[in-house]
Amino acid sequence: MAVTTTQPRRPPLADTAETQTSELAYGRTDWDDHHHLPTNTGLTNEKVTMWAFLGSDCLLFGALISTYLLCRNRVGPATKGPTAADLFDIPFTSVSSFVLLMSSLTMVLAVTSIQRAEMERCKLWLLTTAALGSIFIAGQVYEFTGFYREGLGFTTNISSSAFFTLTGFHGVHVSLGIVMLVTMWVLVTRGNLGPERAETIEIIGLYWHFVDIVWIVIFAVVYLIP
């Protein structure tokens, strides 16, 4: 006699809902384990979003760098004045570039610290990164002030407009990064951000490394290549 077993009809996604409920019930927080994340990709939406944003930001800086290269030697028929390239202080900018590059190291050390639950060390590296970023911005303000005193303003000519727009946008990105780093430091200090949310610091770190790689391109293409 054939035995037929009939399974009770279950609503769609019932298994998924059950798994997620049980995970929440047992307080599961291992979001680093990609295979158990409740997303289609197995990756956190926040991290995917940050990478998508960084990809789109490549376009912004690609356009700005292209515009500068197109206009770098053009002062226009009616306007005069020097170009930014005439006034570059390469040794000074090299030091600024080195400072920003080293801030990427301190940022990655902040990420590894919070992943190991070393909160004091994480706070130290976050503050160091913000301080290095601030030194870079101070250097940029000093450079811009020097250019202005030499007669190179934003509207002096096409070349200067393109230069200030490109480096100014990068400076705004670095400044926003500093604000985010200080915010992370406050959250960690108040105990609102622990090792279980280390990915938040990692995502801020991705943004910070991005402003670093953009500067790597700007430093080579705008400053060093004659």
Partner 1 sequence: MNTATVSEDETHQEHSDHGLSDVGYIKVALILAILTGVEVATYFVDFGVVEIPSLLILMVVKFQIVVSYFMHLKFDSKVFSYLFVTGLILAVVVFAAMGTSLAFWQDPAGCDASAFC
Which residues make up the interface to partner 1 (CB under 8 A)? 32, 34, 41-43, 47-48, 51-52, 54-59, 61-63, 65-67, 69-71, 74, 76-77, 90-91, 94, 97-98, 101-102, 104-105, 107-109, 112, 115, 158, 202, 205-206, 209-210, 212-213, 216-217, 219-221, 224-226
Tell me the three state secondary structure of residue 153. coil
**In the complex, least distance from residue 111 CB atom to partner 1, rounded to whole angstroms:** 8
What amino acid is encoded at 4 in this protein?
T
Shortest spacing between CB 38 and partner 1, in angstroms: 16
Length of the chain: 226
| Smallest separation (angstroms) from partner 1 to the CB of 5 | 40
Quote the least distance from Cβ 116 to partner 1, whole Å.
9
Residue with structure tokens 């919070």? Answer: 114
Q: Considering the complex, what minimum distance in angstroms separates the CB of residue 60 from partner 1?
A: 9
Cβ proximity to partner 1, 10 vs 67, nearer residue: 67
CA dist 19 and 124 (Å) reads 39
d(CA 103, CA 191) in angstroms, rounded, equals 24
Q: What's the gap between Cα 128 and its chain centre?
A: 16
Least distance from partner 1 to the Cβ atom of residue 74, Å:
5
Which residue lies nearer to partner 1 by CB, 21 or 49? Answer: 49
Q: Tokens at residue 100, please?
A: 């920003």
The structure tokens listed for 147 are: 């250019």
Contacts of 60 (CB under 8 A, 6+ apart): 169
Closer by beta carbon to partner 1, 43 or else 186: 43
Query: Between 14 and 43, whose beta carbon lies closer to partner 1?
Result: 43
Residue whose C-alpha is closest to residue 62's, from 178, 213, 226: 213
Q: Which lies closer to partner 1 via its Cβ, residue 119 or residue 206?
A: 206
Question: Tokens in use for 19?
Answer: 């798994």
Q: What is the 3-state secondary structure (H, E, C) of 27-91?
A: CCCCCCCHHHCCCCCCCCHHHHHHHHHHHHHHHHHHHHHHHHHHHCCCCCCCCCCCCHHHHCCHH
Q: Which is nearer to partner 1, 56 or 192 (CB)?
A: 56
